Amino acid sequence: MSKFTPRDWASHPSYLSPEYKSSRLRGVSRNLVEIDPELAELTGPAFGEEVLGPLDNDLTRNGRVNGEPLGERIIVTGRVLDENGDAVPNTLVEVWQANAAGRYVHIRDQHDAPLDPNFLGAGRCVTDENGKYRFITIKPGAYPWGNHPNAWRPNHIHFSLFGPTIATRLVTQMYFPGDPLLDLDPIYQSVPAQSRERLVSQFSIDVTEENYALGYVFDIVLRGVNATPVEA
């Protein structure tokens, strides 16, 4: 018997969102079938400190070749929580993002913006005993994405979390407060209105480090009625 409550699908975007064009190609068209999870879905995978490199959570250093990456340095931190609000320790958190000019280090990204030779745009860490994670990075830029005329994605960072089991797997995006593009973005707008703010980080002067970097807090809930919405 599962130790998890069912997902609250009212918190997550629909598989088919007409304004988000690619969802028409990859979204499911039939109702989901509920099945009882097997043991393999209630255990693992397990990741620990042994999978990490010394600079994996510092995106301003893990891709350096001959200097500092360009852009605004930021600190992103928060806690990973389960459906009961309890900390989820020792879980792998991975991030990937565009650089300050809005360009990914990926062969399919042909946006007419410069690549940064000192910025890889990917990192990972494992949460501590209190479920806390922390990344140092560069604030990502907005970029055009061709979904509709003059379409631009808001500044965002992608997150992938495994949690303690496959049943708590989550892929989502973190946005920044006050971004005017949020009201125009079909991906963000596809999330139910009552859940959208769960995807927006909060500026924190306490996390901010003087003369170094602004700080943002983004807590992530893996399941339950307060779950962080899924965003690919």
**Which residues are annotated as catalytic?**
104, 143, 153, 156, 158
d(CA 157, CA 72): 14
DSSP codes of every residue in 91-121: -EEEEE---TTS--SSTT---SS---TT---
State the sign of the Cα–Cα–Cα–Cα dihedral 160, 173, 212, 209: negative
Q: Which of 183, 163, 177, 181 is nearest to 227 (CA)?
A: 163
User: Helix or strand or coil: residue 61?
Assistant: coil
Work out the number of other CB atoms within 10 angstroms of the CB of residue 184: 15
Residue 45, preceding peptide bond in cis (omega within 30° of 0):
yes
